[in-house]
């Protein structure tokens, strides 16, 4: 298996050091494996870095509104460390949503970094299930809260990183604020945890196992593919996976040709070009079988 993680250390921590922050998830078999099996000295094969979720001076404003949910704080911790180290000249407001006040990741470190450069870094915690004595903002990061803390939105760049439900919610809030799409960057979400709850996923295929006929180089295989697992996961289970990076349908590394059958692709994860869609190419990391399939992978 592979997984895309945001780098949570700062560029200036390099060379020789790079940090990932992996939250243990109840149903996540990669995070579970990491928590149980990894120890000091474990060897890990990594590629990259890849992706577009970073400050790009030609594209982004130097005034950033960062919106994080849960472990989605990791790329912002990286940027904030770089600002506090004096290596990146930005003003960053972090609106950070957590469920419980005592489960905020990097709480003490973020506070210390903001204290180091208070004119550049501001951190606001928003708690959806607050304790009785919580005096900060409660609930979700919505349009009113963004307006209250970020005030004038024009000319600011917005960066969002969090779980898929948060992305849907934030899209509604940004529409309410009339924020143009070009002002917003979304971190790719990685593998979807519960595809059956995605809008438009057909309930009748839940629990079904389909046959996947695979052509790969000069060989052919038939393997099982569960409706609620991505085709990339089915290929990985069989030891036949193509290269992958983002697992979010965006980078195109796993691009394959579907020659027969139907797949479900969550609209937010459909990063294919229009021509690819017409010609039958799919990204197995973001495609779920709705019937028996024939697929050609690189």
Contacts with ligand FES by CB under 6 A lie at 244-247, 249-254, 283, 285
Q: Which is nearer to ligand FES, 70 or 271 (CB)?
A: 271
Q: Nearest approach, Cβ of 261 to ligand FES (angstroms)?
A: 18
Q: Nearest approach, Cβ of 285 to ligand FES (angstroms)?
A: 3
Q: Nearest approach, Cβ of 200 to ligand FES (angstroms)?
A: 20
Is residue 6 classed exposed, middle or buried when 0-12, 13-18 and 19+ CB atoms within 10 A define those classes? buried
Q: Nearest approach, Cβ of 5 to ligand FES (angstroms)?
A: 14
Q: Which is nearer to ligand FES, 195 or 254 (CB)?
A: 254
Q: Nearest approach, Cβ of 250 to ligand FES (angstroms)?
A: 6
Q: Write the DSSP string, the chain.
A: ------B-S-GGG-SS---B-----TT-HHHHHHHHH--TT----------S-S--TTTS-SEEEEEEEGGGGHHHHHHHHHHHTTSS--EEEEEEEESSGGG-TTHHHHHHHHHHSTTTEEEEEEESS--TT--S-BS---HHHHHHHH---TT-EEEEES-HHHHHHHHHHHHHHT--GGGEEE----S-S-GGGSTT--GGGTT-EEEEEEEETTEEEEEEEETTS-HHHHHHHTT-PPP-S-SSS-S-TT-EEEEES-EEE-GGG----HHHHHHTEE-GGGEEESS-EEEEE-
Q: Which is nearer to ligand FES, 71 or 245 (CB)?
A: 245
Q: Nearest approach, Cβ of 2 to ligand FES (angstroms)?
A: 8
* β-sheet with 63-69: strand ranges across: 121-127, 91-98, 63-69, 157-161, 184-186
Q: Nearest approach, Cβ of 61 to ligand FES (angstroms)?
A: 28
Q: Which is nearer to ligand FES, 157 or 230 (CB)?
A: 230
Q: Nearest approach, Cβ of 186 to ligand FES (angstroms)?
A: 15
Q: Which is nearer to ligand FES, 105 or 254 (CB)?
A: 254
How far apart CA 84 and CA 116 sit, in angstroms, is 6
Q: Which is nearer to ligand FES, 143 or 198 (CB)?
A: 198
Q: Which is nearer to ligand FES, 111 or 243 (CB)?
A: 243
Q: Which is nearer to ligand FES, 83 or 263 (CB)?
A: 263
* Residue position matching structure tokens 């963004």: 146
How far apart CA 276 and CA 256 sit, in angstroms, is 10
How far apart CA 146 and CA 141 sit, in angstroms, is 7
């Amino acid at each position: 298996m592979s997984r895309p993680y945001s780098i949570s250390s700062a560029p200036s921590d390099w060379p020789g050091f790079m940090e990932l922050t992996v939250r243990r998830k109840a149903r996540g078999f990669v995070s579970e494996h990491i928590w149980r099996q990894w120890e000091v000295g474990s060897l890990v094969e990594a590629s990259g870095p890849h992706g577009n979720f970073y400050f790009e001076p030609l594209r982004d404003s130097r005034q950033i509104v960062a919106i994080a949910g849960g472990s989605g704080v990791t790329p912002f911790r990286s940027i904030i460390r770089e600002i506090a180290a004096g290596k990146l000249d930005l003003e960053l407001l972090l609106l950070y949503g957590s469920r419980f006040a005592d489960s905020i990741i990097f709480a003490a470190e973020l506070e210390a970094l903001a204290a180091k450069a208070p004119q550049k870094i501001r951190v606001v915690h928003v708690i959806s299930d607050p304790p009785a004595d919580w005096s900060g903002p409660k609930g979700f990061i919505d349009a009113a809260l963004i307006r209250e803390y970020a005030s004038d939105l024009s000319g600011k760049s917005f960066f969002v990183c969090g779980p898929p439900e948060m992305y849907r919610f934030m899209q509604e809030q940004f529409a309410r604020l009339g924020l143009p799409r070009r002002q917003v960057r979304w971190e790719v979400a990685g593998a979807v945890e519960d595809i059956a709850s995605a809008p438009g996923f057909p309930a009748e295929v839940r629990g079904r196992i389909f046959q996947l006929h695979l052509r790969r180089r000069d060989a052919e295989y038939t393997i099982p593919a569960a409706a609620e697992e991505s085709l990339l996961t089915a290929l990985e289970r069989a030891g036949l996976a193509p290269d992958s990076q983002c697992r979010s349908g965006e980078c195109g590394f796993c691009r394959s040709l579907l020659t027969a059958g139907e797949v479900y692709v969550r609209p937010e994860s459909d990063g294919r070009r229009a021509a690819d869609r017409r010609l039958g190419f799919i990204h197995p990391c973001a495609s779920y079988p709705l019937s028996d399939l024939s697929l050609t992978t690189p």
